[in-house]
Amino acid sequence: MNLTLKRSIALVGAVTAGSFALVACSDSTESDSATSSSAASEGSSDSAAVEGLSGVSGQLVAEGASSQQSAMDYFGIKYSEAVDGASLAYTASGSGSGRTNFVAGQVAFGGSDSPMKDDQAAEATQRCGGNEAWHLPFVIGPVAVAYNVPGVDTLNLDTNTIAQIFKGEITNWNDEAIAAQNEGTELPDLDISVLYRSEESGTSDNFQKFLGAATDIWETEGQQFPSAVGSGAQGSNGVASETASIEGGITYVEAGFATQAGLGVANIDFGSGPVELNADSVGVALGALDFLTEGHNMVVDTDAMFAMNEAGAYPLILTTYEIVCSAGYDETTRDQVKDFLTVALNSQDDQLEALGYIPVTGEHYDRLVAAVDAIQ
């Protein structure tokens, strides 16, 4: 289940190029509004029966993180196939807008790369008729450390080395620290060119949180990546494209963009040996998640996740939430939300992986099923 470019292209079939490219993870708007009709797939044309649906027709309106836009496009197609007359209108306006408009009651659910803070959660409780709003970590997007080094098909990097590269302390690909982790690989005498997101970005925020949790040498945090080293590019597509055009380039970007651009993806040593980025390694990390909240409200403890060094786990992932009311919807909206999320859970498949996401399985899948079933 390795996320290679050839495999992704083969699996995606007739999905449009615009849907294949994930939009950057950010609270800022990086794309025009998108609805479920913006992606199409020959492979998704055969509607599969989904048990437990209410079958309520009509348009379900949602808004939020652009990081999950392509997943929402795909889930929207499956939703329309499963329920006659039903459709999803998902506006990829950014996580901040998703949270704000959910709290305001303008949308049925909000998509967000980050959980609500306490004051906003209190407002969400009011919106939900005095009932708790739940964070459901639904869309899983692995972040790749992606590189363009001619002749180097496999690259191992530990977390300290990654931090040193992005701090500008390691500046050449044949540096002894890199060479020691890649015995038998001929590393070129080539300058390292760091590419980072130039605008405020949820991906930058989470990558810096990861470096801070996984090492003792990273000092900055926030959605703005430090500009002292390297050069910036706009959006995930921008950093991937720039890295692909520069020999010696390296960046952090959602896996779908890395494979689409033909970049190498580093195996990361989180403390228990190099781990390849694939569905299995992300699944190990998902199974070991800790939460800061209880019950069906699942706010991920990202500090613990990013510091994880469990053997075979790849914890450098973005967990994008669907923020929903646990209760308090009108009956029609409740049934639409539950139908859509149920269809989405039944669409954790190869086509979703081809779009650059990791299908949820195992314990985490069971947690989400239980939460959706509990919405009243």
pLDDT of residue 348: 96
pLDDT of residue 207: 95
Retrieve residue 187's tokens: 């590393």
Residues 84-96, mean pLDDT to the nearest whole number? 93
| Neighbour tally for 255: CB within 10 Å | 28
Mean pLDDT, the chain, integer: 87
pLDDT of residue 193: 98
Are 65 and 109 in contact, with CB atoms under 8 Å apart? no
Residue 10 has pLDDT above 90, yes or no: no
Nearest to 187 by CA among 138, 247, 123, 274: 247
pLDDT of residue 356: 84
Secondary structure of 107-160 in HEC code, one letter for each residue: CCEEEECCCCCHHHHHHHHHHCCCCCEEEEEEEEEEEEEEEECCCCCCCEEEHH
Retrieve residue 188's tokens: 């070129």
Give the global pTM. Answer: 0.76
pLDDT bin (cut points 50, 70, 90) of residue 106 is very high
Residue 24 has pLDDT above 70, yes or no: no
Are 298 and 136 in contact, with CB atoms under 8 Å apart? yes
Residue pLDDT, tens place only, 179-237: 999 999 999 999 999 999 998 887 888 999 999 999 999 999 988 999 999 999 998 88
Residue pLDDT, tens place only, 46-68: 334 567 899 999 999 999 988 89
Residue pLDDT, tens place only, 209-220: 999 999 999 999
For 130, list phi and psi in degrees, rounded to 5.
85, 5
**What is the distance between the alpha carbons of residues 349 and 333, in angstroms, rounded to a whole number?**
26
Retrieve residue 56's tokens: 């309520």
Residue pLDDT, tens place only, 133-142: 999 999 999 9
pLDDT bin (cut points 50, 70, 90) of residue 94 is confident
Residues 62-83, mean pLDDT to the nearest whole number? 94
Q: List C-alpha distances in Å: 97 to 26, 60, 64.
A: 11, 17, 6
pLDDT of residue 69: 87
Residue pLDDT, tens place only, 140-150: 999 999 999 99
DSSP letters along 283-334, please? Answer: HHHHHT--BSS-TT---B-HHHHHT---TT----EEEEEEEEESS---HHHH
Residues 325-340, mean pLDDT to the nearest whole number? 98
Q: All domains of the chain, ordered by start, with CATH?
A: 5-141+291-300+318-374 (3.40.190.10), 143-279 (3.40.190.10)
**What is the distance between the alpha carbons of residues 32 and 41, in angstroms, rounded to a whole number?**
21
Residue 275 has pLDDT above 50, yes or no: yes
pLDDT of residue 326: 98
Least confident of 26-35, 44-53, 346-355: 26-35
Residue 3 has pLDDT above 50, yes or no: no
* CB contact set of 30 (below 8 Å; sequence gap of 6+): 23, 24, 66, 92, 94, 199, 234, 235
